[in-house]
Homo-oligomer: A and B are copies of this chain.
């Protein structure tokens, strides 16, 4: 599959590296290629020559699956730069969390309760098939779930398009996830984004991000 991963941070690199390793054709999208190359990108990218780097629009143009791995407040600008027409019809795996650090730690959510970032993205890009997933995990656990309890824990998908969720569930399964729960339409992204406050507290308490929820039923 041709995959565009928007975002060059820990999440973007994790998803890009893992999907390339699994044989997909991957291009990482960034706001400004020169700035990214001038940073610590080279060290990461040298070991992964098969992963491309391009501007948001160019990375998105030929992709079949687009991954939003930007920050919460950077998501709508990045997707706008990628282009509404280029995103039309595509599956968008949205991993971003609307964290607001402006009042210190722990951050609050910039949108919650009666709306979510996933819904905002779906409303802003109505022709794109948005699927919220993986935002409840630390980056390394997104791509290597078996490192924790041999994968015996849960992840979630939220989205309006059943076929788009099927594509994402297949990708998550290829990463090693064994319990992918389809919560329903994109409004259920409120539930997974609102897991962040307890996630952040558990992260502080446990001193590691290598933990996850399992829905015991």
- Contact call B183/A216, Cβ cutoff below 8 A: no
Question: With a CB–CB cut-off of 8 A, which chain B residues contact A215?
Answer: 202, 211-213
- Contact call B191/A201, Cβ cutoff below 8 A: yes
The reply on A109 being an interface residue by CB < 8 A is yes
- Contact call A153/B216, Cβ cutoff below 8 A: yes
Number of this chain's copies in the complex: 2
- Specify which of B103, B195, B205 is in contact with A194 (CB 8 Å cutoff): B195
Q: State how many angstroms separate the Cβ of A174 from the closest Cβ of chain B.
A: 21
8 Å CB contacts to B: which residues of A155-208? 156, 181-184, 188, 190-192, 194-195, 197-202, 204-206, 208
The reply on A35 being an interface residue by CB < 8 A is no
The reply on A25 being an interface residue by CB < 8 A is no
- Contact call B201/A211, Cβ cutoff below 8 A: no
The reply on A149 being an interface residue by CB < 8 A is yes
Q: How far is the CA of A169 from the CA of B195 in the complex (A)?
A: 23
- Contact call B183/A198, Cβ cutoff below 8 A: yes
Q: How far is the CA of A131 from the CA of B80 in the complex (A)?
A: 45
- Specify which of B108, B192, B210 is in contact with A114 (CB 8 Å cutoff): B108
Q: State how many angstroms separate the Cβ of A203 from the closest Cβ of chain B.
A: 10
Q: How far is the CA of A202 from the CA of B204 in the complex (A)?
A: 26
The reply on A123 being an interface residue by CB < 8 A is no
Q: State how many angstroms separate the Cβ of A46 from the closest Cβ of chain B.
A: 34
Residue of B nearest to A152 (CB): B216
Q: How far is the CA of A108 from the CA of B200 in the complex (A)?
A: 21
Q: Pull 30 A–B residue pairs with CB atoms less than 8 Å apart, ordered by A.
A: A103-B114, A109-B113, A112-B112, A113-B113, A113-B197, A148-B217, A149-B216, A153-B214, A181-B205, A182-B205, A183-B202, A183-B205, A184-B205, A188-B198, A188-B201, A191-B197, A191-B201, A194-B194, A194-B195, A195-B195, A202-B215, A206-B217, A211-B217, A212-B215, A212-B216, A213-B213, A213-B214, A213-B215, A213-B216, A214-B216
